[in-house]
Copies of this chain bind each other. A is one copy, B any other.
């Protein structure tokens, strides 16, 4: 099983699902010949043609709304949101329509669609092209939200999302597309939505990390190991459904927990996850659950500024060390 990049795993998942189910179509800007700006879909149009890999106008609300209707009427559309920042443009379609239609219709209509959105800073793309806005859909009943951190999870979660009968938003870290590599089976496997994964076993502290922050946590864990701290890394993989049990058990075991996420810190996903852990593991905790997220600033352009905006291995290391009194 050769290593594969995160981006290639996404493409593989899409190709497999499109072969399996002719109702799966891809919609987005420059998805066909260009294969998206990140080249992640490159080649799919050759296999599936431009009736299934569809270039759209720059109309995020319009084509997302179209996907909602298409999903209700029997398709399985996968919408490509080039930069996650543009989620701000489609919240009405996703939240007021897609998320609520099943419920509002008393369970009669279904909206089996997927929104693939990128996330992540560190590319010097500045404030409107660097956000990680997964806290927003995570807040909304009726949506599911996936945040793969490895090529294996990317393939498995995306396939699960496409097969799910509900609207699912999947966040793909732009840096990971090419930088993160790992084994990806050729099999037709899925990673069920709502099952956390322990990316590293450890005894001393639980590091709950999402998406891009899993790599950061792994780096920090290696540094921590050198000073004798054995970190456990738990990747929830989906913020909703949330695998509370795995999170709480890990924290109870290690007695210390930190939550690390690339979204803005305040009112972000770390608050919920930390609260879930605190509520479930309070009497086993040595101290409060601590959190790291992006600084409370729009993402700056200048490299020297951007580099202090998102949590780094060093930040995780320092905080973990303090928490372990070492």
Is A210 interfacial (CB 8 A cutoff)? no
Number of copies of this protein chain within its complex: 2
Contact B142 A135 (CB under 8 A): no
Is A100 interfacial (CB 8 A cutoff)? yes
Is A298 interfacial (CB 8 A cutoff)? yes
Report the Cα distance A298→B288, complex, angstroms: 32
Contact B275 A270 (CB under 8 A): yes
Contact A85 B89 (CB under 8 A): no
Per the CB 8 Å criterion, the residue count for chain A at the interface is 53
Which residues of chain A from 10 to 30 have any CB-CB distance to chain B below 8 Å in the complex? none
Contact A269 B267 (CB under 8 A): yes
Is A314 interfacial (CB 8 A cutoff)? no
Within 8 Å by CB of A278, from B268, B274, B296, lies B274
13 A-B interface contacts by CB (under 8 A): A103-B127, A103-B297, A103-B298, A104-B126, A135-B135, A136-B139, A139-B267, A141-B264, A268-B272, A274-B278, A275-B275, A278-B289, A282-B288
Supplied contacts A91-B91, A279-B288, 4 more A-B pairs, CB within 8 Å: A85-B96, A104-B127, A136-B139, A275-B289
- The residues of A with any CB-CB pair to B shorter than 8 Å are 85-89, 91-92, 94-96, 99-100, 103-104, 126-128, 135-136, 138-142, 239-240, 242, 263-264, 266-275, 278-279, 282-283, 287-291, 295-298, 300
